[in-house]
């Protein structure tokens, strides 16, 4: 197998310089970490363009670059649904409608918002599930990075794991959330600039977009992959219009972008209400164009395979191509020493930004929502700063452990991810009802969440994706009522059903339970009880509403062009 | 939190630009560029990164202060 990159001294020089800058940013911020708020909330002082790029970069982790290129090779441009319909509407909604409550309330985290709006048990449920989930996500990132370095560069797995964890630990320990955010901005530019040469050279090789379309058409199986909507049908691996619109575009997307503290935390670190509302919108501009950097390479790879490029090989795995290797194999095919080092550094940067994002979200939720709430309340600020720092170390250490769990028991990880998916699907129902109706009660939200989670598990038990081999994929009840064309479509429908059940349950239970919070207490937390935010942008074209319309319009135009 | 992130970004890409640019010039015409369809990608990306890096530095706070003085 042609899987060894021979790196030259230039490649290593670039890598080392990058790591020096990453650590240097943490070190430069060290002196400013005087209180818990500075360490865990970046002192709520960052400019909108910084939080906006970090918002996208925190999400541009390992799964994104490797996974989206793989998906681009398998499903073509249909993968953009994860970027356009599956992100932009939710980001606009977060900016315009939800940020005023997150930023305007005194909440320091998403679970804390739930405590202010509902009650202790709803917060606890969210805080614990989120804390465990982020640690596992961080562990999976580390595992994937170490595995890739071992496959590509022949580096020692344990060494790669420990060294990457140590780098992330040092810069998040020194500079806290600010350090993670500033580094995410650096990583954002590195990822874009590092992958551009690959996309440009690849495109020239296959004769531009038209050449690519022509070469995709050489194989009836891959013909038409350049369309995003045209091939969508109930038998398509991405499923029907309904599933994409409601499952991906509504429930999963709003559930992720609007309630996941990992991304919301970036917006909450902004310096003003206006900057906080602009954060997701500024992030939306690059988000819309990232597909050309991560999905298009997958399609370039297929075009190369179809037209028989003698220098490009894609290794096989279990009877089909190993699509996860699309990006590394393209790097090897097109980039000589020098830019190759840059590309690999960009790849590492994407893993690390994912890891650091999870670690900084974890330490905030743990310190404020678990430690300060349940373990040791009422101590001084410097006490919680110390706890925040120790949590960072513990978080990274536990991540390393989970990386080893991932390495040893693949099924355990699949199972855990499944459970988190069940918990996440109904979450947006609680936020939607809580933010927009004052009648929704804590009992309603909490039992709505549990009912939704339970119904997700139930749907999973009675359905299966085509070709399922293990019970972790579904059908554990023994009776399979519906077979979906793919796991993705199954996920969309589980999300739709879980959300609907949670919504109905929240409404019904709220009607039968007493409100525990007065109108006065809900001020700033519920739409009807909060004075409308007046935007203080200097120019009309800087206002969040104008930015939102622009983002929406560009997303629609892009969808039409790549229909 | 006071850190002008434009400075580290600008510095890092300027350094990358210089390294790749010089490396590109030194390896001009080498058959390692057969891979990249005979384009000297190191030289070109080096120039692009150098310009990007300088641009970032130019818009950073230290430059703004100097212009005011």
Taking the C-alpha atoms of residue A445 and residue A509, their distance in angstroms, rounded to an integer, is 8
Note the pLDDT of residue A507.
93
Angle (deg, nearest 10), helices A157-205 and A326-334: 60
What is the tens place of the pLDDT at every residue in A394-443?
Answer: 999 999 999 898 888 777 767 777 887 888 888 999 999 999 988 889 99
**What is the pairing mode between strands A320-321 and A463-465?**
unpaired
DSSP state of A270: B
Nearest CA-CA distance, residue A97 and chain B, Å: 27
Interface size A-B, in CB pairs within 8 Å, comes to 92
**Is some CB atom of chain B closer than 8 A to the CB atom of A416?**
no
b/e burial code for range A449-475 (CB count within 10 A of at least 16 → b): bbbbbbbbbbbbbebbbeebeeebbbb
A339 → closest Cβ in B3, B15, B42:
B42
Taking the C-alpha atoms of residue B3 and residue A165, their distance in angstroms, rounded to an integer, is 24
**pTM (2 decimals)?**
0.92
Which residues of chain B from 20 to 49 reach within 8 Å of chain A, CB to CB?
Answer: 20, 23-24, 27, 32-33, 35-37, 39, 41-42, 44-45, 48-49
Q: Name the pLDDT band for A158 (thresholds 50, 70, 90).
A: very high
Mean pLDDT over the full length of chain A: 88
CA quadruple A222, A223, A227, A228: dihedral positive or negative?
A: negative
**What is the pairing mode between strands A463-465 and A316-317?**
unpaired
Does the distance separating the beta carbons of A333 and B19 come in below 8 Å?
Answer: no
Is it the case that residue A371 has pLDDT exceeding 50? yes
Note the pLDDT of residue A1.
40
pLDDT-above-90 percentage for chain B = 58
Contact residues, chain A, for B16 at CB < 8 Å = 14, 17, 342
What is the tens place of the pLDDT at every residue in A22-36?
Answer: 999 999 998 888 888
Region A314-323 average pLDDT? 84
Taking the C-alpha atoms of residue B49 and residue B16, their distance in angstroms, rounded to an integer, is 7
Taking the C-alpha atoms of residue A140 and residue A351, their distance in angstroms, rounded to an integer, is 10
Give the residue, A265 or A537, on which the prediction is more confident.
A265
A154 burial (CB, 10 Å; 0-12 / 13-18 / 19+) is exposed
Is it the case that residue B69 has pLDDT exceeding 60? no
**Is some CB atom of chain A closer than 8 A to the CB atom of B13?**
yes
Nearest CA-CA distance, residue B8 and chain A, Å: 7
Distance, CA of A23 to chain centre: 24
């Amino acid at each position: 197998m042609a899987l060894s990159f021979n790196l030259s001294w230039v490649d290593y020089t670039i890598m080392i310089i990058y790591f020096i800058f990453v650590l240097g940013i943490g070190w430069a911020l060290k002196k400013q970490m005087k209180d818990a708020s500075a360490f865990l909330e970046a002192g709520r002082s960052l400019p909108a363009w910084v939080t906006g790029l970090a918002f996208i970069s925190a999400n541009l982790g390992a799964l994104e670059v490797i996974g989206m290129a793989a998906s681009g090779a398998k499903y073509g441009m249909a993968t953009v649904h994860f970027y356009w319909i599956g992100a932009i509407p939710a980001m606009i909604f977060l900016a315009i409608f939800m940020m005023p409550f997150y930023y305007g309330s005194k909440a320091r985290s998403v679970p804390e918002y739930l405590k202010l709006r509902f009650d202790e048990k709803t917060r606890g449920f969210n805080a614990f599930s989120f804390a465990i989930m982020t640690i596992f996500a961080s562990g999976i990132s580390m595992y994937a990075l170490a595995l890739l370095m071992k496959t590509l560069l022949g580096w020692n797995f344990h060494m790669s794991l420990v060294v990457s964890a140590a780098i992330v630990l040092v810069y998040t320990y020194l500079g806290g959330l600010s350090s993670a955010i500033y580094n995410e901005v650096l990583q954002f530019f590195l990822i874009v600039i590092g992958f551009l040469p690959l996309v440009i050279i690849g495109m020239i090789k296959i004769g531009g977009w038209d050449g690519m379309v022509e070469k995709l058409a050489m194989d009836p199986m891959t013909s038409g992959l350049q369309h995003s909507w045209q091939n969508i049908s109930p038998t398509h691996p991405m499923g029907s219009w309904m599933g994409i619109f409601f499952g991906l575009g509504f429930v999963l997307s709003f559930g992720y972008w609007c309630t996941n503290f990992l991304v919301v935390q970036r917006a909450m670190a902004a310096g003003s209400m206006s900057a906080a509302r602009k954060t997701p919108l500024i992030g939306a501009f690059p988000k819309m164009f990232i597909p050309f950097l991560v999905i298009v390479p997958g399609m370039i790879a297929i075009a190369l395979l179809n037209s028989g490029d003698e220098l490009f090989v894609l290794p096989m795995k279990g009877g089909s191509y190993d699509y996860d290797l699309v990006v590394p194999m393209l790097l090897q095919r097109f980039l000589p020493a020098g830019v190759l080092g840059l590309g690999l550094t960009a790849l590492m940067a994407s893993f690390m930004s994912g890891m650091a994002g999870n670690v900084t979200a974890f330490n905030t939720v743990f310190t404020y929502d678990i430690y300060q709430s349940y373990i040791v309340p009422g101590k001084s600020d410097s006490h919680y700063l110390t706890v925040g720092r120790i949590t960072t170390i513990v978080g990274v250490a536990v991540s390393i452990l989970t990386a080893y769990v991932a390495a040893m028991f693949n099924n355990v990880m699949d199972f855990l991810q499944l459970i988190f998916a069940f918990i996440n699907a109904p979450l947006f129902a609680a936020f939607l009802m809580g933010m927009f109706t004052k009648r929704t009660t804590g009992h309603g939200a909490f039992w709505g969440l549990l009912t939704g989670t339970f119904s997700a598990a139930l749907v999973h038990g009675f359905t299966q994706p085509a070709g399922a081999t293990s019970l972790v994929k579904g059908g554990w009840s023994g009776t399979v009522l519906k077979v979906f064309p793919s796991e993705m479509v199954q996920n969309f429908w589980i999300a739709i059903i879980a959300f609907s059940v949670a919504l109905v349950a929240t409404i019904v239970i709220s009607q039968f339970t007493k409100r525990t919070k007065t109108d006065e207490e809900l001020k700033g937390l519920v739409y009807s009880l909060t004075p409308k935010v007046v935007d203080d942008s200097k120019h009309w074209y800087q206002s969040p509403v104008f930015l939102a319309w622009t983002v929406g319009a560009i997303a629609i135009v892009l969808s039409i062009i790549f229909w | 939190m006071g850190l002008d992130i434009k400075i580290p970004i600008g510095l890092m890409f300027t350094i990358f630009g210089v390294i790749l640019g010089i490396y590109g010039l030194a390896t001009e015409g080498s058959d390692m560029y057969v891979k990249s369809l005979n384009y000297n990608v190191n030289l070109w990306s080096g120039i692009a990164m150098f310009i990007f890096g300088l641009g970032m530095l130019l818009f950073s706070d230290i430059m703004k202060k100097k212009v005011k003085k």
